[in-house]
Amino acid sequence: MTEPRTVRPSMADLARRAARLTVSAGIRTTAAPLRALARVGREESDPRWARATWLWQPGWGRGTHDRLYRRPDPYGIGLNPYEQQKYGTVMDALAGRRFSRTLEVGCGEGDLSVRLAGHTDALLGVDICTAAVERAATRVPSGTFVRRTLPREMPDGTFDLIVCTDVLYYWEPVTLRVGISALLDRLRPGGTLLAYHYRGDFGQAGTADRVHDGLRAAAVARGHDVRVHEHRNGVGPGGAGARFDVIVAPVPAAGEQIRGVPAPRRPEIDSPARSRHF
Ligand SMILES: C[S@@+](CC[C@H](N)C(=O)[O-])C[C@H]1O[C@@H](n2cnc3c(N)ncnc32)[C@H](O)[C@@H]1O
């Protein structure tokens, strides 16, 4: 989110972008065969891979985010206009509604959590980075914040609100498919999943289009209601735009079977930043 916001980039901007995309393409090209090798005889959920998240999230795994968050506000969220309109869009969609248990995926330092906290009885923010969740916990004392790498370390239980803003495009295609399914599994009947992603390419493993196309297809296949499905043109760095979807899980008719929530694939590997039971 730190790219210049001019519509016509300078030669220096273009050169920097080309260099960044070349490095990122190199990392992705290296990660793909290594990931294939790593799968031989090993499960992605094996705790021995906990530090190797770059394999499944090329260029933007746990190590990268730990380095980024050595300083506060690494994404320059602050008063950034793109971020503020994103939070405005999300909060407008939630206006007047209250939830009992909310999951915020990739909560960062809690810029959106601060706003979500007023709409929910219990807020669980998860982020790949320890420093980020510690800062979020300080800003939002009513919430619970834990370090997790999703989708491998999906929290237990179900939620009536799941919020994913500018996070799912870090997942490469297989992780994205598994992750979308795991998130939809955790949506309670009648629950809302809200996703908002910047459409620009800044070296992440995936794109907003892949995220939102995949999300919508998976939701429709489950009979979920896609209430909002929007392209927001012109917003964000370089005017690249954003995608916004609001998905609502159906409430089964009386006597109809509710889809089961799978058990977590493995025990937790990290202790929570705040130990309060969520
Ligand atoms: C661009 S920031 C967005 C923060 C926040 N969602 C917002 O919109 O203000 C992306 C956040 O996702 C976190 N993240 C990236 N990959 C993740 C993963 N696999 N699991 C959990 N968090 C992740 C990063 O550490 C970072 O805090």
Cα–Cα distance between 188 and 69 in angstroms, integer?
A: 33
**Residue 273, pLDDT score:** 40
Cα–Cα distance between 147 and 123 in angstroms, integer?
A: 14
Distance 221 CA to ligand 1 centre (A): 27
Count of CB atoms situated within 10 Å of the CB of 227: 12
Binding site membership of 127 for ligand 1 (Cβ less than 6 Å): yes
Q: Which fold has domain 77-248?
A: Rossmann fold (3.40.50)
Residue 150 above 60 pLDDT? yes
Residue 263 above 60 pLDDT? no
What mean pLDDT is predicted for residues 122-150?
Answer: 97
Tokens of 58: 């090329």
Tokens of 53: 């998240």
**Residue 269, pLDDT score:** 35
Tell me which residue has its CA closest to atom 26 in ligand 1. 108
Q: What are the structural domain ranges in the chain?
A: 11-68, 77-248
Binding site membership of 54 for ligand 1 (Cβ less than 6 Å): no
Binding site membership of 49 for ligand 1 (Cβ less than 6 Å): no
Distance 252 CA to ligand 1 centre (A): 32
Count of CB atoms situated within 10 Å of the CB of 218: 17
More confident residue, 29 or 170: 170
| Contacts of residue 163, Cβ cutoff 8 Å, sequence gap at least 6 | 90, 102, 103, 104, 105, 112, 116, 193, 194, 195
| Contacts of residue 143, Cβ cutoff 8 Å, sequence gap at least 6 | 110, 113, 117, 123, 124, 125, 136, 137
Query: Can you tell me which atom of ligand 1 is nearest the CA of 75?
Result: 1
Binding site membership of 129 for ligand 1 (Cβ less than 6 Å): yes
What mean pLDDT is predicted for residues 174-185?
Answer: 92
Give the mean pLDDT of the chain: 84
Burial 187-198 (b: 16+ CB within 10 A, else e): bbeebbbbbbbb
What mean pLDDT is predicted for residues 170-181?
Answer: 90
What mean pLDDT is predicted for residues 64-78?
Answer: 88
Binding site membership of 165 for ligand 1 (Cβ less than 6 Å): yes
**Residue 156, pLDDT score:** 94
40-44, 151-155, 254-258, range with greatest mean pLDDT: 151-155
Q: What is the pLDDT of residues 181-217, one digit of tens each?
A: 999 999 999 999 999 999 998 888 899 999 999 999 9
- What are the angstrom distances between the C-alpha of 183 and each of 161, 179, 232? 11, 6, 24
Binding site membership of 74 for ligand 1 (Cβ less than 6 Å): no
What mean pLDDT is predicted for residues 253-276?
Answer: 45
Q: What is the pLDDT of residues 84-116, one digit of tens each?
A: 999 999 999 999 999 999 999 999 999 999 999
Indicate whether this model's pTM tops 0.75: yes
Structure confidence at residue 54 as a pLDDT band (50, 70, 90):
low
Tell me which residue has its CA closest to atom 10 in ligand 1. 167
**Residue 1, pLDDT score:** 45
Q: What is the pLDDT of residues 223-255, one digit of tens each?
A: 999 999 999 999 999 999 999 999 999 998 776
